[in-house]
Structure 1
Amino acid sequence: MKEILNIQKQLLPDLIDTMKKRYTILQHIMVSGVVGRRTLAGSLNMTERVLRGEVDFLKAQGLLEIESSGMRISDSGRHLLESMEPLAKELFGLNELEERIRLHFGLKQVVVVPGDSDVSSHTKKELGRAGAAVLRKYVAHNEVIAVTGGSTMAEVAYHLTSSTSLKGSWFVPARGGLGESVELQANTIASTMAKKTGASYRLLHVPDHLGEEAYQSLMQDATISEIIDFIRRARIVIHGIGEAMVMARRRKVDEATTASLRADGAYAEAFGYYFDRKGEILHKMPTVGLRIEDIQQMDRVIGVAGGKSKGEAIASILQFGHEDILVTDEAAATEIVNMLSS
């Protein structure tokens, strides 16, 4: 396939460009569900006149359906995108990024989607769709699946659908609440994932960041202790990755600790742990939920994060060495590969 594409690039470069453009249009519409032409043109940075011509062609091919509320992809268009996925990865040069990261960090699988989540809401949605697909692939019956909070995990939840492999399983929050928007908390995301897939869920109604005295007191409560024991039975965890200083602000970490993290070169945060560039743990927040030893014993650890700004943070977590699968975007993957090269 790669050899044929190289020949086409030399002999028919316009054909390759047209194929990439039409694939991108279809992909945006599929992930959006229903979208108007003006909104889509803005998202693609394309004039409405150019987009109108492409939409007319795709509609004539039976790949799109036009409704009063906007455009949606047809069943034929969805099937075409699914069959084109391996080709699309070659078209956008994503296969090479995936393989370089996978081999360097010894991962089981790396999935890279086109674009940059920092600047494109569509790419964030596609990241969520890819994360949902990976989760469905690896989940067996009667699993306990731990999930973290955040906007990327919310997108994963949105793109999950009813699945026979997930019925009988349980979704649980990996940790307590951050005090952020309710829809981005791990509790909400765990319950959404369960409802979308026909699975069950359990919730953990405690704040994420606790003082030592409050932590010890909560752990004496029989109800809380039982739920935490259940969460620690999880064999799969799907989680986001944060930039260390951004997460320190969100968690309202005190100034002394924040200054220490900055001085020690903290790059990333996950599960309440802060990591340096080499993947070494610099600091642990007293949190209720999964511990690092629980993560190390998991059957599958799936990280989902993207955006150029998170490239270094993702690499830091990969250096820690306990990820099995990474789902990221082109911008973050390129940053990671550039770090490896330098």
Structure 2
Amino acid sequence: MREILSIQQQLLPDLVDTLKKRYTILHYILVSGMVGRRTLALSLNMTERVLRGEVDFLKEQGLIDVEASGMRISAAGRELLEKIEPLVKDLFGLTDLEERIRSHYGLRQVVIVPGDSDVSPHTKKELGRAGASVLRKLVREDEVIAVTGGSTLAEVAYHLTAANPMKGCWFVPARGGLGESVELQANTIASTMAKKAGARYRLLHVPDHLGEEAYQSLMQDDHISEIVQFIRKARMVMHGIGDAMVMARRRKVDSETTESLQRDGALAEAFGYYFDREGRILHKMPTIGLRMEDIQRMDTVIGIAGGKSKGEAIVSVLKHGHEDVLITDEAAAQYIVQRLTS
């Protein structure tokens, strides 16, 4: 495959460029669901005249459906994209990046999508689509799946479908709710994923950030204790990865703890744990839900995060050594690989 690609790039560079362009258009339409021609042209930095020709071609091939409200991917277009994804990853140089990161950190799988989530909402949507695809492939019947909150996990929830129902599965929040937008809280994401995937869910209605006294009091409540024990049965977890200082501000961590985290070199946050450059745990927030010992016992731990700004945080969590699968974008992956050689 790679040899053929190399020959094509030498003898027929225009053909390869056309393939990339048409894949990018099709892919954007797929992730968007429905998109107008003008919006698509602006998003891809393409003139409407050039795009019109490409849209006409894709329509003639039966790869997209064009309606008054915009364009959407057809079943044939969706099938084609799935078939050529490995080829396109080679074209964009992502296959090598995936393997370098996978082998260095001993991961089971690495999935990289093109782009930079920091600057492209489309890339974050594609992260969500990739996350949903990985989840569908790895989940087993009657499994308990824990999920954290955040905008990337919300995108994963959006892209799940009931096409292949997750029979007998339960989605649960990995921890108490974060004090931010309801749609980004772990409870909301767990319930949305369950509804989209034809599964069931249980929720944990407690604050994310608790004092020690409140934590002990809540854990004595029979109902909460029973739900927490159910959550700790999870054998799979999908979680986001945050910048330590950004997450400390979002979680309204007190100034003394924030200063301590900064002084100790905290770079990443996941599950309420803060990690330094070498993946060491510096601090744990008193939260109800999964503990590190629960995560270490799991069959599959899936980390998902993108954007060049998250590169350092992702490296920190990978060095902690309990990830099985990483889903990220090209910008973060390039940063990670640069750190391998620096």
TM-score (norm 1): 0.98
Displacement of 1:164? 4.7
User: Does the residue aligned with 1:145 lie in a helix, a strand or coil?
Assistant: strand
Q: Which residue of 2 aligns with 1:274?
A: 274
Q: Which residue of 1 aligns with 2:230?
A: 230
Q: Which residue of 2 aligns with 1:162?
A: 162
Q: Which residue of 1 aligns with 2:186?
A: 186
Task: Find out whether 1:110 has 2:100 as its counterpart.
Answer: no
Q: Is the contact between residue 296 and residue 322 of structure 1 (CA under 8 Å) also seen in structure 2?
A: yes
Q: Which residue of 1 aligns with 2:66?
A: 66
Q: Which moved more, 1:108-117 or 1:57-66?
A: 57-66
Displacement of 1:165? 5.6
Aligned residues: 342
Ranges of 4+ aligned residues in structure 1 off by more than 2 Å: none
Deviations 1:57-92 (A, max 9, x none): 211222111100100111211111111011011011
In 2, Cα distance between equivalents of 1:335 and 1:108? 20
Q: Is the contact between residue 301 and residue 322 of structure 2 (CA under 8 Å) also seen in structure 1?
A: yes
Q: Which residue of 2 aligns with 1:44?
A: 44
Q: Is the contact between residue 43 and residue 120 of structure 1 (CA under 8 Å) also seen in structure 2?
A: no
Q: Is the contact between residue 165 and residue 197 of structure 2 (CA under 8 Å) also seen in structure 1?
A: no
Q: Is the contact between residue 140 and residue 165 of structure 1 (CA under 8 Å) also seen in structure 2?
A: no
The code of the aligned residue for 1:58 comes to: L
User: Does the residue aligned with 1:266 lie in a helix, a strand or coil?
Assistant: coil
Q: Is the contact between residue 173 and residue 231 of structure 1 (CA under 8 Å) also seen in structure 2?
A: yes
Q: Which residue of 1 aligns with 2:198?
A: 198
In 1, Cα distance between equivalents of 2:171 and 2:63? 35
Deviations 1:135-179 (A, max 9, x none): 111111110100000000000001111155612110000000111
Q: How does 1:1-342 map to 2 (within 5 A)?
A: 1-162=1-162, 164=164, 166-342=166-342
The code of the aligned residue for 2:169 comes to: S
In 1, Cα distance between equivalents of 2:49 and 2:284? 54
Displacement of 1:50? 1.7
Q: CA RMSD in A?
A: 0.9
User: Does the residue aligned with 1:27 lie in a helix, a strand or coil?
Assistant: helix
Displacement of 1:270? 0.1
Determine what percentage of the aligned residue pairs are the same residue: 78
The code of the aligned residue for 1:9 comes to: Q
Q: Is the contact between residue 267 and residue 276 of structure 1 (CA under 8 Å) also seen in structure 2?
A: yes
Unaligned runs of 5+ in 1: none
User: Does the residue aligned with 2:267 lie in a helix, a strand or coil?
Assistant: strand
Q: Is the contact between residue 147 and residue 171 of structure 2 (CA under 8 Å) also seen in structure 1?
A: yes
Q: Is the contact between residue 165 and residue 198 of structure 2 (CA under 8 Å) also seen in structure 1?
A: no
TM-score (norm 2): 0.98
Q: Which moved more, 1:241-250 or 1:51-60?
A: 51-60
Unaligned runs of 5+ in 2: none
In 2, Cα distance between equivalents of 1:112 and 1:262? 30
